[in-house]
Amino acid sequence: MRTLTRSRAALLGAALLAFSTCVTPCSASPMAALHTRRRTILVLPFDLYDYSLDHRAATVVPLHRWVAHLAAHISEDLRADDALTVLEPQTAAPGLRKVRVNYAHPTSCRQCVLSVARGLGADVAVIGQVHKLSNLITYFDIQVDDARTGRVLHVISMRADGADSNTMWKYIAQNIARRIESAAARAH
């Protein structure tokens, strides 16, 4: 009976050794490490296209301020996601200044802004544009891209009516952040 128990133990030990040999390299593979590590994301500053007819300072100045801070507000909301390491949008400023030499709107050169994101170590880049059509209608075109390969992970098209207050813009930032989190989770 003891011999049988010992042989069972030896057989079990050999099976566990074979199993651990097979499992360990698989879980230690670079692909598995990619899936377990936190992804680094950079929300690039949004470009503004203002097609509205109202160019009074009381309308334009707040709009430019809100758009200038949109990436920072989205990044702040994304920091709550434990799966993401969020880079500060202003870290992209030096690279974007170089892009602005050739492009009035840096996001119009997708490869240029992806290069800036890669240079900062981002795995995911968020590239966005705000299109102000009138005093009431604002569209947001956003791409969530794999910064390393350039592959588009997700496209967000959103319309916001009456985006003319701090409260509304905070809500917009939260809504965009939730959509980005969802896209980053699916792409992971």
pLDDT band at 9 (very low <50, low <70, confident <90, very high): very low
Chain centroid to Cα 105, Å, comes to 20
- Tell me what pLDDT residue 36 has: 55
- Tell me what pLDDT residue 96 has: 96
75-81: which pairs have CB atoms within 8 A and are 24 or more residues apart?
75/43, 76/173, 77/173, 77/174, 77/177, 77/178, 78/41, 78/43, 78/177, 78/180, 78/181, 81/181, 81/184
Q: What is the pLDDT of residues 58-98, one digit of tens each?
A: 889 999 999 999 999 999 999 998 889 999 999 999 999 99
Q: What is the mean pLDDT of the chain?
A: 83
Query: What number is the average pLDDT over the span 175-186?
Result: 89
**pLDDT higher than 80, residue 10:** no
- Tell me what pLDDT residue 146 has: 95
Angle between helical axes of 57-78 and 166-187 (0-180°, round to 10):
40
Q: What is the pLDDT of residues 18-42, one digit of tens each?
A: 333 333 333 343 444 445 568 999 9
Q: How many CB atoms lie within 10 A of CB 108?
A: 14
Which residues 6+ apart lie within 8 Å of 179 measured at CB?
A: 142, 154, 156, 158
**pLDDT higher than 50, residue 140:** yes
d(CA 107, CA 163): 22
Query: What number is the average pLDDT over the span 115-131?
Result: 97
CA dihedral (72, 74, 117, 46) positive or negative: negative
Query: Which phi and psi (to 5°) does residue 159 adopt?
Result: -115, 135
Question: Mapping DSSP to helix (H, G, I), strand (E, B) and coil, where does residue 123 land?
Answer: coil
- Residues 117/34, Cβ–Cβ less than 8 Å: no
d(CA 130, CA 137): 11
Percentage with pLDDT > 90 across the chain: 64
Query: What number is the average pLDDT over the span 35-52?
Result: 89
Alpha-carbon distance values, 89 to 10, 51, 72, 84, 185 (Å):
58, 25, 6, 14, 21
- Tell me what pLDDT residue 54 has: 87
Model pTM score: 0.77
Question: Mapping DSSP to helix (H, G, I), strand (E, B) and coil, where does residue 143 land?
Answer: strand
pLDDT band at 4 (very low <50, low <70, confident <90, very high): very low
